[in-house]
């Protein structure tokens, strides 16, 4: 199971309270108002097989108007314990987080993967496969009331997607004050006979805002003039 693509967060349709109710499958408001450059959220993801990982998402500085997201994954328990990796995703210019944030993986234009000091760009053919495998929450979300998760008042949504032989069902708890929107995400993969084959639960650990380098850039002082070397003559 592609565990974090289970996660990456955000919301679909802009719609403030007092607006007409969202149509079936759409979110009621913009849950990505806090997903600004420098914003980050960290989660603990626990899977039914006993594996435990920390996922940290961050929105980096935009690249010529194109949003850049980074995901750092550190596995602390299970078969892959001790492994670390960072994926960086570049999205289209003017990407609509409000509408397509949860399904951002369908829109990745450029991707790199980093293991230790080794950074590898993802080639176009592989990226096409990754986009095809990404989850698409658009049109599949059903409002299911509100609930407090810790200190956060969340809107709850359920979903079901995928083929009958490996159908994923789950619940998302969303809050617009959280970068990447998600406070909690729980789900399971069902076999054709509807028995669960795997499960996961992800919960928010911390969140905040980094100050980007571009936020503090000032005009650099003019360099001191360098004396021209004397002309050497015979």
Q: What is the pLDDT of residue 223?
A: 43
Q: Residue 8: helix, strand or coil by DSSP?
A: coil
- How many percent of the chain have pLDDT more than 70? 80
Q: How far is the C-alpha of 228 from the C-alpha of 230, rounded, in Å?
A: 6
Say whether pLDDT at 230 is over 60. Answer: no
- pLDDT bracket for residue 214 (50, 70, 90): low
pLDDT tens-place string over residues 35-57 = 999 999 999 999 988 889 999 99
Q: What is the pLDDT of residue 177?
A: 95
Q: What is the pLDDT of residue 211?
A: 83
Say whether pLDDT at 59 is over 90. Answer: yes
Give all strands of the β-sheet with 141-149 in edge-to-edge order.
118-121, 110-115, 84-90, 68-77, 52-59, 39-47, 196-209, 182-190, 167-174, 152-161, 141-149
Q: What is the pLDDT of residue 30?
A: 92
pLDDT tens-place string over residues 126-179 = 999 999 988 889 889 999 999 999 999 999 999 999 888 889 999 999 999 999
Mean residue pLDDT across the chain: 81
pLDDT tens-place string over residues 89-105 = 999 998 999 989 989 99
Q: What is the pLDDT of residue 152?
A: 94
Q: Among 7-11, 49-53, 70-74, 108-112, which is the least confidently predicted range? A: 7-11
Contact 98, 30 (CB under 8 A): yes
Q: What is the pLDDT of residue 25?
A: 60
Q: Residue 117: helix, strand or coil by DSSP?
A: coil
Contact 134, 5 (CB under 8 A): yes
Q: Among 12-26, 79-93, 113-127, 177-191, which is the least confidently predicted range? A: 12-26
Q: How far is the C-alpha of 37 from the C-alpha of 179, rounded, in Å?
A: 10
Region 78-89 average pLDDT = 85
- How many percent of the chain have pLDDT more than 90? 56
Contact 166, 189 (CB under 8 A): yes
DSSP character string of 15-68:
--TTSPPPPTBS-SS-TTTT--TTEEEEEEEEETTS-EEEEEEEE---BTTB-E
Q: What is the pLDDT of residue 117?
A: 83
């Amino acid at each position: 199971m592609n565990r974090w693509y289970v996660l990456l967060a955000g919301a679909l349709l802009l719609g403030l309270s007092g607006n007409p109710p969202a149509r079936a499958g759409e979110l009621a408001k913009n849950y990505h108002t806090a997903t600004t450059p420098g914003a980050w959220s960290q989660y603990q993801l626990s899977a039914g097989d006993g594996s435990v990982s920390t996922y940290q998402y961050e929105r980096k500085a935009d690249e010529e108007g194109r949003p850049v997201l980074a995901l750092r994954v550190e596995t602390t328990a299970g078969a892959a314990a001790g492994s670390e990796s960072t994926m960086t995703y570049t999205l289209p210019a003017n990407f609509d987080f409000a509408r397509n944030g949860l399904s951002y993986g369908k829109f990745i234009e450029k991707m790199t993967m980093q293991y230790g000091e080794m950074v590898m760009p993802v080639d176009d053919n592989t990226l096409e496969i990754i986009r095809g495998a990404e989850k698409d929450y658009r049109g599949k979300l059903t409002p299911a009331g509100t609930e407090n998760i810790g200190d956060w008042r969340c809107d709850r949504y359920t979903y079901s997607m995928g083929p009958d032989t490996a159908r994923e069902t789950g619940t998302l708890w969303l809050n617009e004050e959280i970068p990447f929107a998600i406070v909690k995400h729980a789900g399971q993969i069902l076999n054709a006979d509807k028995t669960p084959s795997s499960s996961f639960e992800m919960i928010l650990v911390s969140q905040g805002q980094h100050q980007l380098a571009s936020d503090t850039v000032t005009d650099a002082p003019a360099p001191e003039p360098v004396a021209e070397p004397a002309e050497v003559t015979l």
